[in-house]
A and B are shown apart, each in its own frame.
Chain A
Amino acid sequence: MKRNRIPQFFIIVGAFLLLLAVVLMLDNVPGVPVMLLIVLRKGAIYALVAVSMNILNGFTGLFSLGQAGFMLLGAYTYAILTVPVENQALVYQRYPNGGIGFSVTESLGRVLGQPGLLLGVIICLILAGIVAGVFAYLIGLPVLRLKSDYLAIATLGFAEIIRAVVQYEKLGPITNGSNLLSNFTNFSNFHLGSLKLDTVMPFVFAGVCIWVITLIINSTYGRAFKAIRDDEVAAEAMGINLANHKRMSFIISSFFAGISGAMLAMYQASVQATIFKAAMTYEILLIVVLGGIGSISGSIIAAFLFVGSSEWWLRFLDNTTVLPNFNAKLLFAIIFAAIVVGIVFLVVYRQNKAQKSRPEAVGRGRKILSLKLSGVITLVVGTLLLLGDLRFLISPDLQVPLLRSGFRMVVFSIIVMIVVLFFSRGLMGDRELPDLFRTGHKRL
């Protein structure tokens, strides 16, 4: 066993370094679409959040909806600690004497230059995680003994309470109340010589954190978490202290959620409490589910897919598109019809085959089509789409119907629902990426 692990470790490290080199190149070569860089940065950050949520939901089986609250704490801690002193009067305009009067990154940067700045950022990120972890400890005390549904709602409630408290006017001199915190150290403050590090940095930070998480999961603590997920009573009978391990899982997950919140602040270059709503937690939950509950590599892949789809690839659905002439319209209509027919045929055919080969259906007589409700819905929707396509073809206007602002999110939500309903194990189930290359070895 040990002999296999060492080469595998080097392979993964090597692959990661290669990835960093590629990203560094993308950052600095002109002509790379800006959206690609955005997707990479945001994807890396969301990958870390998703993995941190996976620790709690996937590996320990504790359904918690408080991620956004911990991200909020991390983001604010980081921002408050790093606003340069001379900008503090500007940022904290509404509160005279606002701000903490010093800035960690600025002080270290003045002393040590760029490495000092980096050191300051790392210290502040860790502090952000610690603050989130401390709150996790406090919240966990009453909340962790609740059953799964109640735990979800209780953590959601705490996240909302934290959000309200941070915006409280009396705390304004520190948190800037309702106002934006900005002008703090972010990714664009870093450069290696003349190389921009905007996209490499989130990758490095996220990569290191995820590596640490993987170490934890593969240790005895991780095995204890999985035991709790599989059967709480049995785990307790085997001597695992439920309360301690649950609390540990909660704190670790929140620690990394805090760090990712700080990274989000760096990416956006501004922090405001209103964005850390329950909706953000739901998005992360969806990423975790899409990737496979209990799979770290699944969460990472799903995070990039999620950010890519919602921010970039499906953007064309939001633009009102006017086709140049009738020939283009004909081409478009034909391609669209072909896709619809293809998908409907696939779904209906497979379902028909599955239904017909069910033990109780065999020998019942020859029905042409035997389908479940989902198959019928697919047929109906497909027919409607084809009819709409035909109608568009006949009509005189050249503007593609349905495509306007907001359509992207509709399509995206439909895709998410399809995955949740039909691929409920997610992309990777509970396997990891190396497992796909492994043959014969059983995963513990």
Chain B
Amino acid sequence: MARILPYLLGGISVGGQYALIAIGYTMVYGILRLINFAHGDIFTAAGFFMVYAAASLPIYVSVAVVILLTIFMGVLVERVAYKPLRSAPRMSVMISAIGMSYLLQNVMWYITGGLAKRYPIIPWISNSVTILGYTTKRVTIITPFLTLILVVALVILIQKTKIGMAMRAASRDFETAQLMGIKIDNVISFTFVVGSALAAVGSLLYFSNYATVTPVVGAMPGLKAFVAAVFGGIGSIPGAVLGGFIIGISETLTKGAGLTTFSDAVTFALLIIILVVKPTGLFGEKPTQKV
């Protein structure tokens, strides 16, 4: 057990970060049936915002500024790239998402000159702590708890508030929700607000742990987070969180087992397995297919 513990801790930490990003994917997919490929790049952009903000503002102000900027960026992406194509076939919107991701990466590459930037150190959460004989950064321990708190808050939001009900209605049946008088634009914007805010928090935790930011750093975590969302059942928030932790832990355990070459591949293998065995994911519901 003691041998596995450090790997488990690492896995839970990175899993929590995947979970926060995965929630963004799953919420957007639930309502718009769209894989938001640009979500990983919004996560990266949040990292860059922090690098530039912390250079001129005090650290805690920067945190707030970063979350606001990320939310703004997420909503902007939605307005520019997804809204005009809302009535277009699914492939067009997905291509628009890919194009947007491409654009964001190139813009970040251009602005930063392609070099890696060092993430500023957020005091307290970056300090080292020793737990059960294993030393790590405090952020590793905080991440899972913070994730759970945020998820619980989100679930309460969805179950108990009016906007939450609107979101559930829209993900159940888009057209009927509109007919019932729900302002669908506001609901969608709100979804992106929440998704981007969670991505910003996820980036704070992720980059405090792995302090180098490059324009493509978000691509793989974004993809893995989407795999986590699918694994847990797309459209289901608890599913996304559970998927995130499972993916994170399996990835770290694979590295620990010495099969380091396959640490990325194992995530995709899990995806294939779940798609073949239970395509709707762990917590997903089977949609009825009308002939």
* A, B from the same assembly: yes
Which residue numbers of A lie inside 8 Å of B, CB to CB? Answer: 57, 63, 142-143, 146-150, 152-154, 156-158, 160-161, 164-165, 167-169, 233, 278, 282, 285-286, 289, 293, 373-374, 377, 404-407, 409-410, 412-414, 416-417, 420-421, 424
Which residue numbers of B lie inside 8 Å of A, CB to CB? Answer: 29, 33, 35, 79-81, 84-85, 88, 90-92, 94-96, 98-103, 106-107, 109-110, 113-114, 219, 223, 226-227, 230, 261-262, 264-265, 267-269, 271-272, 275-276, 279, 291
Instruction: Please name all residues of chain A whose beta carbon is closer than 8 Å to the beta carbon of B106 when the two chains form the complex.
Output: 406, 409-410, 412-413
The chain B residue with its CB closest to the CB of A412 is: B106
B110 pairs with A160, CB closer than 8 A: no
B102 pairs with A157, CB closer than 8 A: no
A interface secondary structure, majority: helix
With both chains docked as a complex, state the minimum distance between the C-beta of B270 and any C-beta of chain A, in angstroms.
9
> A164 touches which one: B96, B98, B265, B276 (CB < 8 A)?
B265
Instruction: Please name all residues of chain B whose beta carbon is closer than 8 Å to the beta carbon of A152 when the two chains form the complex.
Output: 35, 94
With both chains docked as a complex, state the minimum distance between the C-beta of A232 and any C-beta of chain B, in angstroms.
11
Instruction: Please name all residues of chain A whose beta carbon is closer than 8 Å to the beta carbon of B101 when the two chains form the complex.
Output: 282
A420 pairs with B275, CB closer than 8 A: no
> A63 touches which one: B84, B94, B272, B275 (CB < 8 A)?
B94
With both chains docked as a complex, state the minimum distance between the C-beta of A409 and any C-beta of chain B, in angstroms.
4
The chain B residue with its CB closest to the CB of A411 is: B106
B272 pairs with A164, CB closer than 8 A: no
Known: A161-B268, A286-B98, A289-B95. A410 touches B110 (CB 8 A): yes
With both chains docked as a complex, state the minimum distance between the C-beta of B282 and any C-beta of chain A, in angstroms.
15
Known: A57-B91, A154-B275, A160-B265. A413 touches B35 (CB 8 A): no
B264 pairs with A164, CB closer than 8 A: yes
B94 pairs with A157, CB closer than 8 A: no
A153 pairs with B230, CB closer than 8 A: yes
Instruction: Please name all residues of chain B whose beta carbon is closer than 8 Å to the beta carbon of A57 when the two chains form the complex.
Output: 91
B88 pairs with A424, CB closer than 8 A: yes
With both chains docked as a complex, state the minimum distance between the C-beta of B150 and any C-beta of chain A, in angstroms.
25
Instruction: Please name all residues of chain A whose beta carbon is closer than 8 Å to the beta carbon of B94 when the two chains form the complex.
Output: 63, 149, 152
Known: A161-B269, A165-B265. A409 touches B99 (CB 8 A): no
* Residue from B88, B101, B110 whose CB has the most chain A CB atoms within 10 Å: B110
Instruction: Please name all residues of chain B whose beta carbon is closer than 8 Å to the beta carbon of A150 when the two chains form the complex.
Output: 230, 275, 279
A149 pairs with B261, CB closer than 8 A: no
Instruction: Please name all residues of chain A whose beta carbon is closer than 8 Å to the beta carbon of B100 when the two chains form the complex.
Output: 417
Known: A154-B271, A409-B106. A63 touches B81 (CB 8 A): no
B103 pairs with A417, CB closer than 8 A: yes
B79 pairs with A285, CB closer than 8 A: no
B90 pairs with A416, CB closer than 8 A: no
> B265 touches which one: A156, A161, A416, A424 (CB < 8 A)?
A161
B261 pairs with A167, CB closer than 8 A: yes
A63 pairs with B91, CB closer than 8 A: yes
Instruction: Please name all residues of chain A whose beta carbon is closer than 8 Å to the beta carbon of B95 when the two chains form the complex.
Output: 285-286, 289, 420
